[in-house]
Amino acid sequence: MNTRRDFLKGVLASGAALSTASIAPEANARETRHRPAEGLGLLYDATLCVGCKACVAACKEANENPPEFSTEDHLWDTPLDTSGYTFNLIKMYRNGTMETKDAEVNGYSFMKTSCMHCADPSCVSACPVSAMSKDPVTGVVGYDPEACVGCRYCVVACPFGIPKYQYDSPTGKIGKCELCRHRYKDGHYSACAEVCPTGATLYGKTADLLVEAKRRIALAPGSVTTYPRGKLGGPDQSYEAPVGNYLQHVYGETEYGGTQVLKLSAVNFAKVGMPDLKPEAAAARSETIQHTLYGGLIMPFAVLGAMTYVAKRNVHHEDDAPEQAPGKEGS
C-alpha cells in the first residue's frame, strides 16, 4: 500500500515539476491589457452621493430583476449585497457619532458596489466557454447565458466579488452589471447614471471620466465648481456645489491594471469596502498558467497516468486468486 501511495505521489510530483518547468519561462508571457481608447464606464463620486438608492431601483427595473428582502415585513427591496438579482448597491460607511458626512472619524459616507469592468478582467480569463467576454470597442464586460455552463469560475476569479450565481436558476446563470448595454440601441445609457439626482454616478468614456475625476481632486476643498449629471458630454444637466475634501487618488485608474468604473471618495477606500489591489491584473499570469497546463495537456496526462496505475493495481484477475486448501470448501 505504501509503495502504491509513494508511486502516486511521485507521479503527481513529476507532473507538477514538468508543469512548473514548462510554465516558468512563460509565466509573464503577456502584459496586463489596457482599457480600450473608446471604452465606456462610470465615475462614482462618494462626496456627491446622498444614499437615496435611486440607482439601485433603476438598475432593478432596467434589468427586470425581482426584489430581495432582508426584513420580515417584505415591504421594501432591501438587498444587503450584490447578488444574481441585484447588480448595483449603495453601501454605507459609519463611524462613531456619524455627525459629519464624508468624515472618517465620527462620520459617514457611501460607496457604490457594481461591476468595475476591468481592463483585463479575470472573469473573462477564467471562463472556459467564453460566456464572459469583453467588448473590444466599448470594453463592457458582458455575459452570455446561452454559453454559460454554470461552472462559477468567474465568481471565484473576480477580485471585487461581483459575478454572482443564481442558485434558483434551473440552467445555472450568472448575474452582474453589463453597463446596461441592452439599452444603447434605444438611445439610453446606464440606468444608475440616468436617474442619479446629484450626478454622483456619471456615465461616459472612461478616458473623459478620468480627466473629470482629476479635475475635481485638484480643486480646493470648499470651493464651488460645476458638476455634470447623467452622461458626460450629453445634454447639460450640470449644477454648482462646494467641492468635497477628496482623497488625492482616483480608484480604478491603476488598480488591477485599471478599470472602466472610476471612484472618488473622502474616506479611505479600504474603509468603504474597496480592495487594495496591485496595478497588475492577475488574469495575465493565471491565463498563461492555465493555457500552458491544459494546452499542453501536461497535468491532465500526469494525473491520468497516476489514476490508471492505481486502477490496475486494484484489479485482481481470477488466475491470480489464491487456491483454497483441500477440505475447506463451504466452510
pLDDT 10s digits, 56-89: 999 999 999 999 999 988 988 999 999 999 999 9
d(CA 5, CA 2): 5
Contact of 41 with 207, CB cutoff 8 Å: no
- Tell whether the model's pLDDT for residue 19 goes beyond 70: no
Q: What is the mean pLDDT of residues 144-155?
A: 95
Q: What is the mean pLDDT of residues 172-191?
A: 95
Q: What is the mean pLDDT of residues 144-154?
A: 95
C-alpha cell at position 284: 495575465
Contact of 261 with 116, CB cutoff 8 Å: yes
Domains located in the chain, CATH noted: 16-32+280-311 (no CATH), 40-279 (3.30.70.20)
- Cβ-count burial of 95 within 10 angstroms (0-12 exposed, 13-18 middle, 19+ buried)? middle
> What is the band of 311 on the pLDDT scale with cuts at 50, 70, 90?
low
- Tell whether the model's pLDDT for residue 330 goes beyond 60: no
Contact of 256 with 279, CB cutoff 8 Å: yes
Tell me the residue ranges of DSSP E strands in 114-223.
Answer: 132-134, 141-143, 164-166, 173-175, 201-205
d(CA 99, CA 108): 8
**pLDDT attached to residue 23:** 45
d(CA 297, CA 224): 61
C-alpha cell at position 62: 432596467
**pLDDT attached to residue 33:** 92
Ramachandran category for residue 273: left, alpha or beta (phi over 0 → left; psi -120 to 50 → alpha): left
pTM of the shown model: 0.80
- Tell whether the model's pLDDT for residue 148 goes beyond 80: yes
